[in-house]
Amino acid sequence: MWFMRQAGRYLPEYRAVREKAGSFLDLCYNPELAAEVTIQPLRRYDLDAAILFADILVVPHAMGLPLKFAEGEGPVLGTVRSMQELDRLKPVVESYEVRQVCRTVALTRSQLAPHLALIGFCGAPWTVASYMVGGGSSDRVMAKVAAYQRQPWFCALIDRLVQESIDYLSAQADAGAQAVQIFDSWAGDLVASELEEFVLKPLAAIVAGVKSRHPGLPVIVFARGIGMGQRKAAAISGANAIGVETEYDLTELPKDVVVQGNLDPVALLAGAEVAATEVRRICAAVDPQRHIFNLGHGIRLGTDPSAVGAVVDAVRRCDG
């Protein structure tokens, strides 16, 4: 059991560190403080894993695109919309940004109790590319048009992100990450051949690439919102576990798939009783031996930390 965005603004101790760090990116690239916020939720809750504190836009930033997070607004990222702009980007592995993230991984691993796992992560090519094409905007229309048109520069951008993601995840594993998750937050944008081409194939390529360098490393693929496509993701991605969104009916996946998810983060806003009811519904739907308890999306700002505790307790009661 772990929760997406378990380290975050809903926790007062996170907000205190964040204030000390400066900007959100300052925190991401400060190994001591990033390790601290990564570990914070494990002090409060009986979770099984820590998830590295970083951002999916570290990769384009490390490739050389300017990046800013304006307070209260979304990210502003330099754009890539041609082969020339793509060719200018640098490999991530030698970058300051990735070095700092890997220091965070190493420091967290050294400070974390040995029985707790440390999970690394990256964004998936489709999701990261959609931000690179859209300049950080969450509007994926330009990326989607480029995908439909099979623009050569867009296909090359996806291929490049596959390679950079393999390098980035491998570096995290070298630094001490014991599992990795690939977040494809906007995978649900695509269907049919575009889903295959720009979501499922790149995910499978990253899983294969990471496993060729780190054969035993568990990889979790979270292609959010692809609904009926999750069966295909389970069949072809090569992942050890499949993350599913809140809207996914857990009973639809074949019984031999390890599934991660899918409690609604909004249920935590509705109070401990509602959240515990949802926990029981989810636990009844899956084989506990093949289930990583998690949310279907990140913990929301404004969530009462005690509601998270109530969920952890409810999950442990289901296990017992």
User: Least separation, in Å, of the C-beta of 244 and its own copies?
Assistant: 11
Is the CB of 179 or the CB of 226 nearer to its own copies?
226
Can 103 be counted among the known catalytic residues? no
Nearer to its own copies among residue 76 and residue 270 (C-beta): 270
- Identity of the residue, 177 or 276, whose beta carbon is nearer to its own copies in the bound complex: 276
Which residues of the shown chain bind its own copies in the complex (CB under 8 A)? 141, 144-145, 148-149, 188, 191-193, 225-229, 246-249, 252, 264, 266-267, 269-271, 274, 281, 300
Residue in 10, 14, 18, 81 annotated catalytic: 18
Residue-wise burial string across 95-114, b where 16 or more C-beta atoms lie within 10 A, e elsewhere:
bebbbbbbbbbbbbbeebee
The answer to whether residue 131 is catalytic is yes
CA distance 129 to 120: 20
Kindly state the smallest distance separating residue 90's Cβ from its own copies, in Å.
30
Q: Classify 262 as helix, strand or coil.
A: strand
**Exposed/middle/buried for 284, CB within 10 Å: 0-12, 13-18, 19+?**
exposed
Question: Which one of 10, 14, 55, 109 is the catalytic residue?
Answer: 55
Phi, psi dihedrals of residue 130, rounded to the nearest 5°: -65, -35
- HSE, CB side, 13 Å, CA atoms: give it for residue 251: 5
**Candidate list 10, 14, 131, 168, residue with the active-site label:** 131
Query: Is 281 tagged catalytic?
Result: no
- Determine how many CB atoms are found less than 10 A away from the CB of residue 9: 15
Least distance (Å) from its own copies to the CB of residue 48? 25
Instruction: Enumerate the active-site residues.
Output: 5, 9, 18, 55, 131
